[in-house]
Amino acid sequence: MDLILRTARLTDGRLVDVHVTDGTIVRVADAGADGAPTGAADVVDCAGRVVIPGLIEAHLHVDKALLDRERPNPDGTLAGAIAVTGELKRGFTHDSVRDRARTLLDQAITNGTTLVRAHPDVDPIVGLTGVEVLLGLRDEYRDALDLQVVAFPQEGIAKAPGTLALLREALAAGADVIGGCTYNEATLAACHEHVETVLDLAEEFGVPADLHADFADDTSDPRFALAGHIADQVAARGLQDRVALGHVTSLASLPRASRTDLLLKLAAAGVAVVPLPATDLHLGGRSDDHDVRRGVVPVRELWAAGVTSAYSSNNVRNAFTPFGNADMLDIGLLLAQVGHLSGPDDLARVLEMATASAAGVVGVADTYGIRPGAAADLVVLSTTDPAGVLLDRPDRDLVLKRGRVVAETTRTTRLTRPTPGLTTGLTTGLTTRSKEPIHA
């Protein structure tokens, strides 16, 4: 099957025609360079609209999404969120998890996401329910979305006896990644053991590791200051570019010099960092009486230190984060606002954290991007201005997975204000902006 996206605007402003064969991009040429398309190819006329590669949710709790109406977080803290969700998990069934997961994944696809790394809980409360549902959905959604399944020990490993055997079972059943929750153990020694166990499993099963780490306002409790230790372990084992850390919020409370040293260490060890601003902001700073902390890893410093980074939604509408629409452009704007990031260069770099850089974090860089040889995972946006992608959060007009349209959005907006100088009433002043670019 052949497809051509004509007159697509890349984020560097260049207008190109993108040629796709059997789901793979085979040629990217200057717009019109090849003349009018001939043959049997389907043609999508992008008319100068911006086209980006499919957005990547590098860290999403699909199994726990959309629980906020069942029971909210009693005190707004991380401990409160874990406790409430632990109770709700007792009622999880395969059907209930699958129903909420499908709703969330469909929303993500509509919003231009073509890959999700999902972190279903694995513990004695839910057993493998989340993993089994997600592995089923990985097949069910194969043509619309790539789903990576992380075996995630939310309740700890030593702290929740039986979890280690379940993690092994999840990996044997085909989970793609081993997860971790390094702070949810009773002692620092148990936290170190947790890290060791997770990295052992990564080596034994030949999978990447993706750990929740250092999710606190400050570093006074050493269980929440493990990033340096993890970097040492990763370097010693030669697991460079195979390990990601989510949150790492306590890093923001370190003095700048210590922060810089730690970031350089993470960069040298090839450990990626994934800020999760919606959750980090909602659960952080809860004990502050004044000067309430942001509790989000300083993004500009990640860039300066050369740390591979992505950002993600983490949770959508549950006790951890009672907001969200699985929309990576929304979260990107939030990250920019909280990280003091602005202007075209910064915003382009934030968008990269949802696209090319995220592809590196989840291990798909080899087949990602708008270039020959990459999978044709593409999003046509309702703007012609690359600088407006995060600011305007344009419609995702078309979402393509391996060259096939998997979601389409059309919207009509009418401005009903009377046109100045005309006296013939409201209808004369109707303006239709359907599919018109926001910026000409």
Using the contact rule CB under 5 A, the part of the chain among 40-48, 158-166, 194-202, 306-314 near Zn ion is 306-314
In the three-class reduction of DSSP (H, G, I as helix; E, B as strand; rest coil), residue 105 is classed as: helix
Q: How far is Cα 145 from Cα 106, in angstroms, rounded to an integer?
A: 9
Site string for Zn ion, 111-150 (x = CB under 5 A): ----------------------------------------
Query: Cα torsion at 136, 54, 330, 251 (round to 10°)?
Result: 80
In angstroms, give the least distance from the CB of 181 to Zn ion: 8
- Output phi, psi for 211, to 5 deg: -110, 140
Closest residue to Zn ion using C-beta atoms: 314
In angstroms, give the least distance from the CB of 118 to Zn ion: 10
* Shorter beta-carbon distance to Zn ion: residue 245 or 254: 245
* Shorter beta-carbon distance to Zn ion: residue 314 or 382: 314
184 forms part of the interface with Zn ion (CB under 5 A)? no
Count residues binding Zn ion (CB under 5 A): 1
Long-range contacts of the stretch 169-173 (C-beta < 8 A, 24+) = 169/128, 170/122, 170/128, 170/131, 171/201, 171/205, 171/207, 172/205, 173/128, 173/131, 173/132, 173/135
* Shorter beta-carbon distance to Zn ion: residue 62 or 407: 62
Using the contact rule CB under 5 A, the part of the chain among 33-41, 65-73, 81-89, 312-320 near Zn ion is 312-320
110 forms part of the interface with Zn ion (CB under 5 A)? no
Closest listed residue to residue 280, CA positions, set 239, 241, 338, 222 = 338
User: Residues with Cβ < 8 Å from 5, sequence gap 6 or more?
Assistant: 17, 18, 20, 44, 46, 51, 378, 380
Q: How far is Cα 400 from Cα 27, in angstroms, rounded to an integer?
A: 16
What distance, in Å, lies between the first and last C-alpha atoms of the chain? 33
* Shorter beta-carbon distance to Zn ion: residue 251 or 378: 251
* Shorter beta-carbon distance to Zn ion: residue 3 or 115: 115
In angstroms, give the least distance from the CB of 310 to Zn ion: 13
314 forms part of the interface with Zn ion (CB under 5 A)? yes
* Shorter beta-carbon distance to Zn ion: residue 308 or 314: 314
Using the contact rule CB under 5 A, the part of the chain among 35-43, 86-94, 258-266, 310-318 near Zn ion is 310-318
In the three-class reduction of DSSP (H, G, I as helix; E, B as strand; rest coil), residue 19 is classed as: strand
Interface residues for Zn ion in 56-85 (CB under 5 A)?
Answer: none
* Shorter beta-carbon distance to Zn ion: residue 85 or 382: 85
Binding site for Zn ion (CB under 5 A): 314
